């Protein structure tokens, strides 16, 4: 830490923050603050990459017809868009295929393989799916169709017998970075193709905006190689994004410079809305079109679908709140399981996330008809949802996912038994303390020590995301200088001028108006916040964005990230 303070001139709190994130040597500092495109790993370090490129070369030489197959979420549609656009310059016959969320479900489908057979396809590149599709890959082989799988999910016990299976999470794959998203694997495929044929690097690097969008939306760690991809992808998004992304930005947000968070909250949901509310093929058409008018029409359509998705989401969330209000005994449980046949399948995952925010309990939301229920689940810190579903598998038809998010199906007759079993697991795994929301912070800081240098170093730490979250600081013994007030058209927010020993600094707290009187009456208070730049009428200043605030003598769940 001492070297960082001396070499970078970094404040001690910032140096400690960097060390906490493993940025504790000159090389680590250089790679973090000045990532180079040359820092990307050799794609041929990935197991089966040679076989994948050889099979693609054979297909081009033999003038075979190629299908690019992918999932219906942002990662899947950006993956398909990237690989489809790149290889349409090399294949005379190339099509893409996105399975229908409701008719086919997630991943490689028999319907998709049958479609390939009808179209005379002999090679399928599958993106963001396929690592567990052992039987379907065998079925395709019987029809004379080869597969190249590009996936980033955990493999099962058996690896599919495809021509090539590109997945860094394979136990037998020694690729140095394991956290690429599906689009990242597709990007490595086209990078390898360019590398083998000595093509201009710009031919694959022009798709970095799509890769960045996938990294942001799929919530993968923005560390290592993902940081390089996100860093340069975000530059492309802000300088010269592809036509489809530009149109989505125009429909969703007016801002001088977009962040990873802006992609997550504004652009990603509009792409996801295609697969949630209708067909994800709309998203791929937008991301691959070269026609300005068509792009505008498609972006407008996705914007409208996202607005409809919001309405449906709000309705389900209101339904959940009404159910809990009428049945307050539900909150004596450590889990929540909701079912309504009228709820939209494409939105229940989002609604489950809303329930986590409201009630801070592992939550399953189900919909369905004709005796079969489909659901999505979300979890809280300390509760492995996938493992919990495994313990309840006797009541399920199938399930899949990871620690914090999962999907499942069951017979309606098993709903009560499943709910009881799910609660039983939570009762064993979760303590009462686990049920309380906990605000995590990175470092303590003195407000008087926050300076332009502090802000500039924090800004250089971007892009932020999992593995490199926006730093949250804690400060104590604070006072408002007397000018604090409640703001907003609905009087929900507060604006304070916070001071310690000398000077003051502006702070804004969204949705914190209910705490204003207690703070004004307190002898002092403490707060957790991020440090941001505020731009108003062309003037730039430092502003704290409050995450939590309470009187000094109060107690609550605030924890250091390093504790």
pLDDT tens digits, one per residue of 54-84: 999 999 999 999 999 999 899 999 999 999 9
CB count, 10 Å around CB of 169?
15
Residue 102 has pLDDT above 90, yes or no: no
Strand partners, 367: 374
Q: Is residue 256 part of a domain?
A: yes
Buried b (16+ CB within 10 A) or exposed e, 202-237: eebbbbbbbbbbbbbbbebbbbbbbbbbbbbbbebb
Q: Is residue 313 part of a domain?
A: no
415 plus 449 within the same structural domain: no
Are 283 and 274 a contacting pair, CB within 8 Å? yes
Q: Is residue 319 part of a domain?
A: no
Residue 4 has pLDDT above 70, yes or no: no
CA distance 26 to 145: 50
448 plus 403 within the same structural domain: no
Of 418, 435, 452, which residue sits at a domain end? 435
219 plus 339 within the same structural domain: no
Q: Which residue has the higher pLDDT, 41 or 521?
A: 41
**What would the mean pLDDT of 201-208 be, rounded to a whole number?**
98
Residue 363 has pLDDT above 90, yes or no: yes
Q: Which residue has the higher pLDDT, 173 or 100?
A: 173
Q: Is residue 311 part of a domain?
A: no
Of 435, 458, 477, which residue sits at a domain end? 435
96 plus 221 within the same structural domain: yes
**What is the extent of the structural domain holding 416?**
327-435
58 plus 177 within the same structural domain: yes
Q: What pLDDT does residue 232 have? A: 97
| CATH number, residue 428 | 3.10.310.30
Q: What pLDDT does residue 383 have? A: 94
Residue 136 has pLDDT above 60, yes or no: yes
Overall domain count for the chain: 4
Asked which of 103-107, 159-163, 252-256 is least confident by mean pLDDT, the reply is 103-107
82 plus 180 within the same structural domain: yes
Residue 419 has pLDDT above 90, yes or no: yes
187 plus 293 within the same structural domain: yes
Residue 230 has pLDDT above 70, yes or no: yes
| CATH number, residue 489 | 2.40.50.140
Render pLDDT for 540-558 as a digit per residue (tens, 0 to 9). 899 999 999 989 876 556 5
Confidence of residue 563 (pLDDT cuts 50, 70, 90): very low
244 plus 376 within the same structural domain: no
What is the chain's mean pLDDT, rounded?
92
Are 286 and 295 a contacting pair, CB within 8 Å? yes
Q: Is residue 443 part of a domain?
A: yes
Q: Is residue 424 part of a domain?
A: yes
**What would the mean pLDDT of 503-530 be, rounded to a whole number?**
90
Q: Which residue has the higher pLDDT, 556 or 200?
A: 200
Q: Is residue 38 part of a domain?
A: no
260 plus 331 within the same structural domain: no
CA distance 408 to 105: 11
Q: Is residue 526 part of a domain?
A: yes
Strand partners, 481: none
Of 390, 414, 435, which residue sits at a domain end? 435
List of residues 6+ apart from 270 with CB closer than 8 A:
248, 251, 252, 299, 302, 303, 305, 306
Residue 41 has pLDDT above 90, yes or no: yes
Q: What pLDDT does residue 66 have? A: 98
| CATH number, residue 291 | 3.90.1640.30
Q: What pLDDT does residue 369 have? A: 81
Render pLDDT for 280-306 as a digit per residue (tens, 0 to 9). 999 999 999 999 999 999 999 999 999
Q: What pLDDT does residue 322 have? A: 97
15 plus 89 within the same structural domain: no
394 plus 480 within the same structural domain: no
Q: Can you give the pTM of this predicted structure?
A: 0.89
Asked which of 2-6, 187-191, 381-385 is least confident by mean pLDDT, the reply is 2-6
333 plus 457 within the same structural domain: no
CA distance 241 to 233: 9
């Amino acid at each position: 830490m001492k070297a960082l303070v001396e070499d970078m001139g970094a404040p001690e709190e910032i140096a400690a923050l960097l060390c906490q994130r493993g940025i504790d040597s000159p090389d680590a500092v250089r790679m973090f603050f000045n990532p180079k495109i040359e820092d990307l790993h050799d794609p041929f370090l990935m197991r089966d990459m040679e076989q994948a490129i050889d099979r693609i070369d054979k297909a081009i030489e033999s003038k075979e017809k190629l299908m690019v197959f992918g999932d219906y979420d942002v990662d899947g549609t950006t993956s398909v868009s990237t690989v489809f656009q790149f290889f349409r310059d090399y294949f005379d016959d190339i099509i893409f295929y996105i399975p229908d969320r409701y008719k086919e479900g997630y991943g490689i489908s028999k319907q998709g393989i049958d479609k390939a057979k009808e179209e005379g396809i002999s090679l399928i590149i599958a993106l963001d799916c396929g690592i567990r599709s052992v039987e379907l890959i065998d079925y395709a082989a019987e029809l004379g169709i080869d597969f190249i799988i590009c996936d980033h999910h955990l493999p099962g016990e058996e690896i599919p017998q495809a021509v090539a299976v590109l997945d860094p999470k394979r136990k037998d794959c020694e690729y140095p970075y394991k956290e690429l998203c599906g689009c990242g694997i597709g990007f490595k495929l086209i990078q390898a193709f360019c590398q083998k044929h000595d093509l201009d690097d710009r031919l694959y690097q022009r798709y970095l905006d799509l890769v960045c969008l996938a990294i942001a939306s799929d919530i993968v760690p923005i560390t290592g190689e993902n940081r390089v991809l996100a860093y340069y992808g975000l530059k492309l998004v802000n300088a010269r994004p592809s036509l489809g992304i530009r149109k989505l930005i125009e429909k969703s947000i007016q801002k001088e410079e977009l962040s990873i968070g802006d992609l997550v909250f504004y652009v990603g949901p509009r792409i996801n809305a295609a697969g949630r509310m209708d067909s994800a093929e709309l998203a791929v058409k937008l991301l691959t079109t070269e026609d300005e008018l068509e792009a505008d029409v498609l972006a407008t359509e996705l914007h409208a679908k996202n607005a409809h998705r919001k309405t449906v989401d709000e309705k389900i969330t209101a339904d959940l709140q009404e159910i809990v209000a009428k049945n307050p005994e539900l909150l004596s449980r450590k889990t929540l399981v909701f079912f309504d046949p009228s709820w939209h399948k494409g939105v229940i995952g989002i609604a489950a996330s809303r329930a986590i925010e409201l009630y801070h309990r592992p939550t399953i939301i189900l919909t369905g008809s004709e005796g079969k229920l489909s659901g999505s689940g979300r979890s809280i810190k300390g509760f492995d949802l996938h493992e919990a579903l495994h313990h309840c598998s006797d009541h399920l038809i199938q399930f899949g996912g990871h620690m914090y998010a999962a999907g499942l199906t069951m017979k309606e007759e098993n709903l009560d038994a499943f709910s009881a079993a799910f609660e039983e697991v939570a009762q064993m795994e979760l303590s009462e303390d686990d049920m309380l929301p906990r605000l995590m912070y990175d470092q303590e800081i003195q407000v008087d020590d926050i300076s332009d240098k502090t802000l500039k170093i924090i800004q250089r730490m971007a892009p932020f995301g999992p593995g490199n979250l926006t730093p949250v600081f804690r400060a104590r013994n604070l006072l408002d200088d007397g000018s604090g007030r409640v703001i907003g058209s609905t009087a929900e927010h507060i604006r304070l001028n916070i001071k310690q020993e000398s000077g003051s600094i502006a702070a804004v707290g969204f949705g914190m108006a209910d705490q204003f009187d207690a703070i004004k009456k307190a002898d002092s208070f403490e707060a957790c916040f991020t440090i941001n730049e505020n731009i108003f009428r062309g003037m730039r200043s430092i502003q704290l964005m409050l995450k939590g605030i309470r009187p000094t003598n109060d107690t609550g769940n605030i924890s250091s990230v390093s504790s």
